[in-house]
Structure 1
Amino acid sequence: MKRIIALLLAAAFAGMPAAAQDTDATKGLSGLPTPRWVSIASGEANMRAGPGEAYPVTWTYRRKGLPVEVIREWGIWRQVRDPDGETGWMNKNLLSGKRTAMVRGKVANLYARAEFSSPPVWRAEPGVVADIQVCDEGWCRLSLGGRNGYVLAVDLWGVYKGETIN
């Protein structure tokens, strides 16, 4: 019965106008832009069906640093999208502003410099998550376990097309 009520509440919330959740199309209630990239701050974080602890947990993440995209805000709650396209709500305390990226699609070569003529210094399998150091002109410098290298931004989940990160 509780699950049915929670699902009905989630469905009712989904029908609310976006203006009630965001102050405008580019800034959330926090004053930060939406959408934006963040990462999961803890080793265990619950995603919920709606913005509150009364909503059922739809997914539990056990991967600190996983990049997620904040697409909406509601008080202390952030609606996020994960790398698989799943959306749900997380308490802002479970998220970090630290920028990370996940290799997607295929094995990615990471180069010594942001150019294909540079020698590859390591390879990263799909699903590897690394810290973003910088992104510019379609390349991102990643850091993982003492290794650094440049990879094409299009091979990453956690970076917008054309985004510059300093």
Structure 2
Amino acid sequence: MNTTKASFLRSALAAFCVTLAGFGGAAAPGVAEAKEARGPVTNLPLPRFVSMKAAEGNVRRGPSLTHKIDWVFKRRGMPLEITAEYGHWRRVRDRDGAGGWVHYALLSGARTVLVEEDMLTVRARPEVNAPVTAAFEMGVVARLGKCHLDWCSISAGGYRGWAPKEKLWGVAPDELRD
């Protein structure tokens, strides 16, 4: 096998294993786990969270305009997880695991989270006994601020406060933010 072909096959296998690891599978020996993986285009961590910049975004089966559109994301600010990169395309998934390939221009680095508990109490400080500042309904998309070990600062609809990290989708359990 020639060197170019062997190099391509190694790269394809590594990308597949990293992708598999991002979806809960095990990475192959010698391939970095998903948390240590870096995107081949941006050199940013994979997986990572972003949000929808556009009000609508076509989700395709593959990374090009020639691939079939499976559905359309229709919620500006919705948090998404990038699991792979290819050129100007990012493979994303939403909270339900649905996803596909989206053009990078439709995505933003601005971080948002999805509230996963109905009437989630948001507090003035990252403490269980702190005064309640608001209650967010399930499904609210909130802007993500600082995150400590167990709490994140969020804001939506003119209200802000601290919420337990485990009640939010769009932030990693071990993620810290200043």
> Normalised by the size of structure 2, how large is the TM-score?
0.79
Residue 8 of structure 1: aligned partner: none
Residue 89 of structure 2: aligned partner: 77
State the shift of 1:21 in Å.
9.5
CA RMSD between the two structures: 1.8
Residue 13 of structure 1: aligned partner: none
Over 3 Å counting, the alpha-carbon distance change for 1:51 and 1:101 in structure 2 is: same
State the shift of 1:86 in Å.
0.6
Residue 17 of structure 1: aligned partner: 13
Residue 27 of structure 1: aligned partner: 38
1:56 matched to 2:68? The reply is yes
State the shift of 1:20 in Å.
7.2
Over 3 Å counting, the alpha-carbon distance change for 1:140 and 1:90 in structure 2 is: same
**Counterpart secondary structure, 2:82:** strand
Higher relative contact order (CA 8 A, sep 6+): 1
Instruction: Give the Cα separation in 2 of the matches to 1:43 and 1:162.
Output: 30
**Counterpart secondary structure, 1:121:** strand
Deviation per CA, 1:17-52: give whole Å up to 9, x if none: 343797965100211110000000011111111111
Residue 116 of structure 1: aligned partner: 128
**Counterpart secondary structure, 1:162:** coil
Counting matched residue pairs gives 151
**Counterpart secondary structure, 1:17:** helix
Deviation per CA, 1:45-92: give whole Å up to 9, x if none: 111111111111111111110000000111111011111111200001
Instruction: Give the Cα separation in 2 of the matches to 1:48 and 1:19.
Output: 19
Deviation per CA, 1:88-132: give whole Å up to 9, x if none: 000010100000000014331100110011111111111000101
Confirm or deny: 8 A CA contact 1:21 1:72 kept in the other structure.
no
Instruction: Give the Cα separation in 1 of the matches to 2:16 and 2:119.
Output: 42
Residue 164 of structure 1: aligned partner: 176
Corresponding letter in the other structure for 1:50: G
**Counterpart secondary structure, 1:50:** coil
**Counterpart secondary structure, 2:166:** helix
Any unmatched runs of 5+ in structure 2?
1-11, 19-30
Instruction: Give the Cα separation in 1 of the matches to 2:141 and 2:16.
Output: 34
Corresponding letter in the other structure for 2:49: W
**Counterpart secondary structure, 2:139:** coil
Instruction: Give the Cα separation in 2 of the matches to 1:131 and 1:102.
Output: 9
Any unmatched runs of 5+ in structure 1?
1-15
> Normalised by the size of structure 1, how large is the TM-score?
0.85
Instruction: Give the Cα separation in 2 of the matches to 1:160 and 1:72.
Output: 17
